[in-house]
């Protein structure tokens, strides 16, 4: 079969990103031809500012070199401008400027023509020395001018203008920024923030003329631009004039082909123009009336467009909320959403003029709708996420201004510090303590491989890919390295993994509504891209199947992580550890004797008392596990699973002179009820017999504290990576109620949380109030949840006992090939 | 002379699973992981991840790859090579299946 032909007009970031996404989805579907007016491969336009500032070189910012086009079988025409689209014969015609024409036929056409700078319609705008700031040629012209001339004038104090001015200043020019408005960056900042930014830039040597209208550009005696004259009659010298007064979508080609354009090439949610064979992405496209000039939305468009071109047809682009960061080293500015306020909105403002910090949060009906940050932008990503998700901030409103760490009680969070911390860190400073990755390695990977997302950085450097506590810091490094191109990761809409476009929520929903009962059924129904998933999605899918359809869905041991398959914890040397269950932390002389005997018989090198009040036997050979379990004669402690782990107890009223309730027996009852429960992540409980809380119930998924009149329940605590104090849930009178409320809370968690989401993160995501409504306030629902958990756990058998009886024997027995055969 | 030695039956490895074969005298044996994919392809790879020596046999098998249980490196079973951006290679062995019996060649 003949391959279909795809022609891409525009060799920039949006067009090539769409091609990259397409190659990932359907590498064989199209013969691809790319036309680019510039004589380069695709480069990172956003990083022109660091190049101008002398912080990076042109070579650093190449995203796709010419070899990439070759390797992917793409025909690339550089230095050729497409001048005509023949929609009837479905071909484009390009001109190299010397009268040589190139034709290319298409089945699908992708327009990614970008934008053109707006050049003020004033006399002298065509003089030598008057340029825009758009591409490599402009940047080179500015660098050359800075070497030979003194006075630079930048017209326009937007993002681009300020970055150009800063770069020219660093290259030794005397720079004046001229702006028609009363304050700088008026589209991104309010006046207070802008004034602080201006003061900071002035201290770096920039000059500003605000409220000035340019009348004409005057020539010097040499015929080059020499001065700028304003409508008020004043004049300033200018050997170089940079026009940075805005951009216009480049629609000339589309218009000449009769495609509907209005403030850009008008596209649908699938990025198709009015001719469905023709797509448009990037700065040239107008989606729902908006032409985006920032890179994050363009990448989202590219992804949807590629999905459609690949004939998957399940992606829709629904517009983007954008955020801005200025890339001037040493100056932190962040803005997002609507910060101008208006009726029905309120402001929370922090303004520390001499400290150089300004923060303004705009709130409407308990939702964050806009943010301006100056000086300390560490929480930009968090605010942006709250804004995009439209989350209810009522509960954290009084702490909102102080950032994520404070509002969410992250105590001693290793991964979080002021925004300037990432930028100020030395290259040798360690960022990821798990994988030993330092800042320099991350920055180098971002630049060399053109990385844009947290996921990319994780893949290339392993930073933040283990425990995740440095995620905030890695995100900051990413943001400070690539500036405006950075987009905070958003798990609620992020696909589960590379095998699918569906996110966790959608997959759970589909498994429920379509009653999917096996991995294969899920792969088929959800159109998985890989035949049998990957190590990331398979365990998640398996959990969703068995938790949604207990006793009906098939558990797939091959889709479980080795620990859950072997029912023991793999150690760094490939041996295993086994933790037998001690209900509520209670044991007997007989059990202790058996543990001692097993340790001697199997030469267990290490015995350790765990934090969950039991004993860990470490360093057991895998083939010895069934024997160890048999000799122990104790049930599995599930210390290896995304499952119920332990119920920790204090001594309680049974012995303690302060005890008000019998905590040990309460703990044993809870643990027996929950035995064998699989969950999205590990689940730990604790029961204390009095408010002294010796069982540390305040940092458990469910913590129970006995008081004289009954029991207090706390939920969603966590003692791990980030210590999270559990929140008060409710108070109950009886032991039966403790069981019922705890079970209902955990069952809701099992049904709603995403795989690998601890209770604390689930509660933060859906809100404690919504959980209380269903578990505490609604008795009927609580009882139903409780019953569903009991039903799921019906007939659960001890996995260790089963395996001592021969289940899954192949898992534990190696095959031995004797020496003589091996040497035959 | 044939170097092929009989190892075990295909049925003795679950699909998307692996078994370990120990070659040589106990104590100093070489451990080779025999993988069976979802489509019944069989591969033999040294049970030692090129990253930090994790037992690949214990990983999750997907497509023609296994993910090491230690630090999630992905290893291509046919070549033994780590999947980019990780770099490294595990030794592979020739294997074949005849009449439901797996053979390994040691050379």
pLDDT by residue (tens digit) across A378-426?
777 778 878 887 888 887 888 888 887 666 644 333 343 344 467 667 7
- The CA-atom distances, in angstroms, between A284 and each of A262, A271, A485, A699 are 10, 11, 18, 52
8 Å CB contact between A265 and A285: yes
pLDDT in tens, A682-711: 999 999 999 999 999 999 999 999 999 999
How much is the average pLDDT of A660-688?
97
Which residues is A127 bridged to in the sheet? none
Choose among B5, B16, B60: nearest Cβ to A824: B5
Reading the block at residue A389, the tokens are 């998700």
8 Å CB contact between A635 and A675: yes
pLDDT above 80 for A658? yes
Neighbours of A744 (CB within 10 A): 25
For residue A535, the chain B residues in CB contact (below 8 A) are 59-60, 62, 67, 72, 74
The number of C-beta contacts closer than 8 angstroms across A and B is 94
Residue of chain A with shortest Cα separation from B19:
A814
- pLDDT tier, A824 (very low <50, low <70, confident <90, very high otherwise): very low
Its ipTM equals 0.92
Rounded CA-CA distance B7/B32 in Å is 11
* A462 has a chain B CB within 8 A of its CB: yes
Residue of chain A with shortest Cα separation from B105:
A822
8 Å CB contact between A547 and A748: no
Rounded (10°) angle between helices A735-752 and A663-674:
40
How do A345-352 and A357-364 pair as beta strands? antiparallel
DSSP one-letter string for A69-109: HHHTT-EEEES-EEEEEETTTTEEEEE-SSS-EEEEE-SEE
pLDDT recorded at residue A491 = 53
Rounded CA-CA distance A739/A665 in Å is 12
Let me know if A78 is exposed, middle or buried by CB neighbors in 10 A (0-12, 13-18, 19+): middle
Q: What are phi and psi of A74, to 5 degrees?
A: -95, 130
- The CA-atom distances, in angstroms, between B77 and each of A742, B70, B92 are 45, 17, 8
pLDDT in tens, A144-194: 999 999 999 999 998 889 989 999 999 999 999 999 999 998 877 888 888
Residues 6+ positions from B53 with CB-CB distance below 8 Å: none
> Taking the alpha carbons of A430, A432, A434, A438 in that order, is the dihedral positive or negative?
negative
Residues of B with CB under 8 A from a CB of A: 3, 5, 7-8, 12-17, 19-26, 29, 31, 34, 38-39, 52, 54-55, 58-63, 67, 69-72, 74, 85, 104, 106
> Taking the alpha carbons of A457, A463, A464, A469 in that order, is the dihedral positive or negative?
negative
pLDDT above 60 for A498? yes
Q: Is the peptide bond before A666 cis (omega within 30 degrees of 0)?
A: no
pLDDT above 80 for A465? no
Task: Determine whether the interchain pair B61/A534 forms a contact, defined as Cβ–Cβ distance below 8 Å.
Answer: no
pLDDT recorded at residue A182 = 92
Choose among B5, B8, B31: nearest Cβ to A821: B5
Rounded CA-CA distance A235/A243 in Å is 17
Residue of chain A with shortest Cα separation from B71:
A466
Distance from CA of B35 to the nearest CA of A (A): 12
* A278-280 sheet: strands from edge to edge: A75-78, A30-36, A4-9, A108-111, A278-280
pLDDT recorded at residue A410 = 43
8 Å CB contact between A628 and A578: yes
Structural domains of chain B sorted by starting position, each given as residue range(s) with its CATH number in brackets: 9-92 (2.102.10.10)
pLDDT recorded at residue A145 = 92
pLDDT above 70 for A607? yes
8 Å CB contact between B17 and B61: yes
pLDDT recorded at residue A1 = 60
pLDDT recorded at residue A514 = 92
Residues 6+ positions from A673 with CB-CB distance below 8 Å: A739, A743, A790, A793
Rounded CA-CA distance A399/A606 in Å is 46
- The CA-atom distances, in angstroms, between A789 and each of A50, A513, A744, A746 are 57, 20, 8, 8
Rounded CA-CA distance A326/A380 in Å is 12
Rounded CA-CA distance A298/A317 in Å is 10
- pLDDT tier, A490 (very low <50, low <70, confident <90, very high otherwise): low
pLDDT in tens, A80-129: 999 999 999 999 999 988 888 999 999 999 999 999 999 999 999 999 99
Q: Is the peptide bond before B85 cis (omega within 30 degrees of 0)?
A: yes
Reading the block at residue A80, the tokens are 């050729």
Choose among B3, B21, B72: nearest Cβ to A535: B72
Q: What is the CA radius of gyration of chain A?
A: 32
Rounded CA-CA distance A643/A627 in Å is 24
Q: Would you call A392 helix, strand, or coil by DSSP?
A: strand
In eight-state DSSP terms, residue A360 is E
Rounded CA-CA distance A375/A418 in Å is 10
Rounded CA-CA distance B10/A781 in Å is 49
Distance from CA of B51 to the nearest CA of A (A): 12
Least confident of A111-120, B2-11, B34-43: B2-11
Q: Where are the alpha helices (DSSP H) in A376-470?
A: 380-389, 403-407, 419-424, 439-449, 454-461
Task: Determine whether the interchain pair B23/A817 forms a contact, defined as Cβ–Cβ distance below 8 Å.
Answer: yes
Write down the residue that tokens 């202790």 correspond to: A592
Structural domains of chain A sorted by starting position, each given as residue range(s) with its CATH number in brackets: 4-115+249-309 (3.50.50.60), 130-245 (3.50.50.60), 323-407 (3.30.390.30), 419-485 (1.10.10.1100), 504-560 (no CATH), 643-793 (3.30.413.10)
How do A30-36 and A75-78 pair as beta strands? parallel
Distance from CA of A258 to the nearest CA of B (A): 45
Which residues is A84 bridged to in the sheet? A93
Reading the block at residue A17, the tokens are 């990103």
Length of chain B: 107
Distance from CA of A756 to the nearest CA of B (A): 16
Which residues is A131 bridged to in the sheet? A242
Residue of chain A with shortest Cα separation from B54:
A574
CA A536 to chain centre: 16
For residue B38, the chain A residues in CB contact (below 8 A) are 531-532
Vertex A409, ends A404 and A415: CA angle to 5°? 60
In eight-state DSSP terms, residue A295 is H
> Taking the alpha carbons of A80, A84, A85, A90 in that order, is the dihedral positive or negative?
negative
Let me know if A630 is exposed, middle or buried by CB neighbors in 10 A (0-12, 13-18, 19+): middle
Residues 6+ positions from A503 with CB-CB distance below 8 Å: A491, A492, A493, A494, A495, A496
pLDDT above 80 for A818? no
Distance spanning both ends of chain A, measured CA to CA: 51
Rounded (10°) angle between helices A159-170 and A191-203:
10
Q: What is the CA radius of gyration of chain B?
A: 13
How much is the average pLDDT of A128-133?
93
What whole-number percentage of chain A has pLDDT above 70? 94
pLDDT recorded at residue A338 = 78
For residue A814, the chain B residues in CB contact (below 8 A) are 19-22, 31
pLDDT above 80 for A362? yes
Nearest to A283 by CA among A179, A134, A162: A134
Residue of chain A with shortest Cα separation from B5:
A821
Which residues is A207 bridged to in the sheet? A176
8 Å CB contact between A753 and A680: yes
Choose among A435, A558, A821: nearest Cβ to B16: A558
Distance from CA of B37 to the nearest CA of A (A): 10
Rounded CA-CA distance A144/A239 in Å is 12
pLDDT recorded at residue A412 = 35
Neighbours of A633 (CB within 10 A): 14
- pLDDT tier, A46 (very low <50, low <70, confident <90, very high otherwise): confident
């Amino acid at each position: 079969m003949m391959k279909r032909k795809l022609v891409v007009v525009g060799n920039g970031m949006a067009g090539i990103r769409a091609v990259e996404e397409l190659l990932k989805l359907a590498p064989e579907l199209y013969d691809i031809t790319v036309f680019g007016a510039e004589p380069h491969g695709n480069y990172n336009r956003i990083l022109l500012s660091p190049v101008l500032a002398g912080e990076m070189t042109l070579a650093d910012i190449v995203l796709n070199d010419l070899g990439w086009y070759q390797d992917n079988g793409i025909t690339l025409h550089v230095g050729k401008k497409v001048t005509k689209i023949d929609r009837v014969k479905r071909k484009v015609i390009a001109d190299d400027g010397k009268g040589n024409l190139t034709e290319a036929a298409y089945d699908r056409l992708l327009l990614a023509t970008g934008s053109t700078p707006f050049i003020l319609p004033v006399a002298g705008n065509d003089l030598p020395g008057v340029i825009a700031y758009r591409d490599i040629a402009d940047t080179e012209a500015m660098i050359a001018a800075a070497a030979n001339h003194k006075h630079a004038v930048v017209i326009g104090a937007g993002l681009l203008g300020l970055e150009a001015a800063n770069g020219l200043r660093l290259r030794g020019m005397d720079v004046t920024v001229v702006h028609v408005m009363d304050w700088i960056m008026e589209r991104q900042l309010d006046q207070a923030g802008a004034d602080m930014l201006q003061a900071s830039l002035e201290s770096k040597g920039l000059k500003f003329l605000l409220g000035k209208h340019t009348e004409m550009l005057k020539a010097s005696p040499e015929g080059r631009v020499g001065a700028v004259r304003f409508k008020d009659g004043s004049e300033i010298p200018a050997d170089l004039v940079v026009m940075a007064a805005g951009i216009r979508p480049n629609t000339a080609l589309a218009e000449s082909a009769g495609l509907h354009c209005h403030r850009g090439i008008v596209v649908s949610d699938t990025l198709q123009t009015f001719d469905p064979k023709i797509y448009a992405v990037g700065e040239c496209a107008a989606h729902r009336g908006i032409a985006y000039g920032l890179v994050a939305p363009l990448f989202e468009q590219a992804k949807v467009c590629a999905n459609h071109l690949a004939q998957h047809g399940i992606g829709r682009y629904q517009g983007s909320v954008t955020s801005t960061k200025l890339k001037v080293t040493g100056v932190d500015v962040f803005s997002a959403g609507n910060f101008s306020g208006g009726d029905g909105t309120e402001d929370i403002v922090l303004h520390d003029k001499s400290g150089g910090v300004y923060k303004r949060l705009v709130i409407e009906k308990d939702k964050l709708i806009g943010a301006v940050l100056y000086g300390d932008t560490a929480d930009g990503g968090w605010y942006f996420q709250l804004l995009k998700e439209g989350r209810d901030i009522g509960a954290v409103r009084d702490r909102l201004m102080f950032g994520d760490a404070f509002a969410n009680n992250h105590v001693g969070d290793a991964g979080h510090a002021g925004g300037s911390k990432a930028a100020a860190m030395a290259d040798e400073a360690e960022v990821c303590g798990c994988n030993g990755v330092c800042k320099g390695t991350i920055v180098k990977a971002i630049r060399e491989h053109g990385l844009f997302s947290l996921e990319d950085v994780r893949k290339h450097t392993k930073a933040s890919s283990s425990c995740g506590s440095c995620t905030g810091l890695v995100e900051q490094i990413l943001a400070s390295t690539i500036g405006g191109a950075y987009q905070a990761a958003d798990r609620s809409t992020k696909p589960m993994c590379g095998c699918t476009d569906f996110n966790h929520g959608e997959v759970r929903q589909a498994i429920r509504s379509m009653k999917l009962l096996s991995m294969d059924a899920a792969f088929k129904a959800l159109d998985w891209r890989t035949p049998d998933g990957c190590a990331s999605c398979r365990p998640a899918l398996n959990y969703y199947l068995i938790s949604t359809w207990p006793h009906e869905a098939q558990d797939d041991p091959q889709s479980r992580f080795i620990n859950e398959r072997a029912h023991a914890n793999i150690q760094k040397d490939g041996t295993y550890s086994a933790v037998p269950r001690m209900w509520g932390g209670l044991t007997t002389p007989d059990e202790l004797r058996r543990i001692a005997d097993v340790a001697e018989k199997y030469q267990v090198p290490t015995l350790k008392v765990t934090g969950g009040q039991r004993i860990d036997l470490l360093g057991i050979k895998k083939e010895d596990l069934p024997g160890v379990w048999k000799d122990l004669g104790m049930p599995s402690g599930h210390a290896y699973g995304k499952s119920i782990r332990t119920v920790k107890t204090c001594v309680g009223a049974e012995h303690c002179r302060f005890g008000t309730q019998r905590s040990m027996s309460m703990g044993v009852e809870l643990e027996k009820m929950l035995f064998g429960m699989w969950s999205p992540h590990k689940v730990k409980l604790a029961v204390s017999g009095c408010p002294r809380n010796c069982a540390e119930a305040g940092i458990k998924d469910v913590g129970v504290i006995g008081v004289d009149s009954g029991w207090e329940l706390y939920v969603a605590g966590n003692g791990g990576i980030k210590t999270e104090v559990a929140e008060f849930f409710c108070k109950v009178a009886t032991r039966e109620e403790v069981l019922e409320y705890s079970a209902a809370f955990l069952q809701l968690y099992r049904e709603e949380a995403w795989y690998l989401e601890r209770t604390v993160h689930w509660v933060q995501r859906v809100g404690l109030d919504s959980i209380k409504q269903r578990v505490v306030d609604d008795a009927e629902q609580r009882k139903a949840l409780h019953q569903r958990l009991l039903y799921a756990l019906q007939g659960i058998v001890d996995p260790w006992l089963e395996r001592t009886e021969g289940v899954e024997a192949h898992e534990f027995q190696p095959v031995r090939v004797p020496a003589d055969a091996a040497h035959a | 002379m044939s170097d092929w030695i009989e190892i075990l039956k295909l049925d003795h490895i679950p699909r998307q699973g692996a078994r370990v074969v120990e070659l040589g005298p106990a104590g100093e044996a070489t451990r080779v992981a025999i993988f069976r994919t979802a489509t019944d392809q069989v591969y033999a790879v040294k049970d030692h991840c090129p990253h930090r020596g994790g037992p690949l046999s214990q990983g999750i098998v997907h497509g023609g790859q296994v993910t090491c249980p230690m630090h999630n490196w992905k290893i291509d079973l046919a070549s033994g090579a780590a999947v980019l951006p990780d770099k490294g290679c595990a030794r592979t062995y020739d294997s074949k299946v005849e009449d439901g019996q797996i053979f390994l060649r040691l050379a």
